[in-house]
Amino acid sequence: MLSVPTILLKPKTGEEGLEFFLRHYPDLILLDFNLPDTDGLEFIAELKVNSDRLPPISSTTTKIRDGY
């Protein structure tokens, strides 16, 4: 297996994530659609306004009912 040095940073809000992206231009964005201050689609729209070089990988989960 190839070993690559990796730094994992976890901004807690869409605003923090966008600020981080604009400062550091990471190689990869893993995005949850359920952000506390915006939704994932709005975040992706902001990314596209500022750069078209990085497509995010997005995922989300939703609790359907208690116990699951």
- Express each pLDDT in 30-51 by its tens digit: 888 888 898 888 888 888 887 7
Average pLDDT, the chain: 79
d(CA 2, CA 40) in angstroms, rounded, equals 31
In this model, does residue 1 exceed pLDDT 60?
A: no
Number of domains in the chain: 1
Predicted pLDDT at 55: 67
Q: For residue 67, is it within any domain?
A: no
Model-wide pTM > 0.85: no
What's the token pair of residue 22?
């604009």
Q: Which of 12, 21, 10, 67 is nearest to 44 (CA)?
A: 21
Q: For residue 9, is it within any domain?
A: no
Q: For residue 48, is it within any domain?
A: yes
**19: containing domain:** 14-59
Burial of residue 17 (CB within 10 Å: 0-12, 13-18, 19+) is buried
Q: For residue 2, is it within any domain?
A: no
Predicted pLDDT at 68: 53
| Band (16; pLDDT cuts 50, 70, 90) | very high
Q: For residue 38, is it within any domain?
A: yes
